[in-house]
A and B are shown apart, each in its own frame.
Chain A
Amino acid sequence: KAGVTQTPRYLIKTRGQQVTLSCSPISGHRSVSWYQQTPGQGLQFLFEYFSETQRNKGNFPGRFSGRQFSNSRSEMNVSTLELGDSALYLCASSPGLAGGVADTQYFGPGTRLTVL
């Protein structure tokens, strides 16, 4: 099975711009989660989508948004970019089985966003 893919791998933007990142999950996986990784804050959960619905959300401002399509592919959008948004954005997919034991999340290689 192909793994989680993320595009683009690298992005350079300037303050005030907006950006859209894309994630294709492992075939058959219905849950997609997004994480931000920075040297200062470490790995932080952004949000999770399951069956095109946001199921869970982390503590990030409304400038960070996402969506999921019927084929489970997901995009996240950051509007009005700030310097502090420079980070590695990681996408993870999982089967998304309901209830009980949490299933395993498999990560993509990430998109490195640099805001100038």
Chain B
Amino acid sequence: GDSVTQMEGPVTLSEEACLTINCTYTATGYPSLFWYVQYPGEGLQLLLKATKADDKGSNKGFEATYRKETTSFHLEKGSVQVSDSAVYFCALSPSGSARQLTFGSGTQLTVLP
């Protein structure tokens, strides 16, 4: 079945440092790929998405590129802020009518001032 493997956390960075959170997936066909973020005590917020190979999703300075050849969707940001502290989830959804997200285990990011 489908699966998502995400970089283990927690990750602690200083403000303005570069961030990379690795995500690889296993799926048949052409899934859509997502990054969601969860702040303490809240639900999940969509951060960015990509629906086909070589697509780049971007939002709030975060970027991720859908690499089919390496089955990866790594999350990157050039300069993190304290407000970026949260848990980040990589997820995939199969093509077709199914609306079933498969999530990675989540990566806790803490950014120190």
Contact = CB atoms under 8 A, between A and B. Distances in A.
A48 B99 contact: yes
Secondary structure dominating the interface of B? loop
A56 B34 CA distance: 20
A24 to B, nearest CB: 14
B95 A100 contact: yes
Interface of B: 31-32, 34, 36, 42-46, 49, 51-52, 89, 91, 93-106
B51 A102 contact: yes
Interface of A: 4, 6, 31, 33, 35, 42-43, 45, 48, 50, 55-56, 58, 90, 92, 94, 96, 98-110
B43 A101 contact: no
A45 B95 contact: no
A60 to B, nearest CB: 13
A110 B102 contact: no
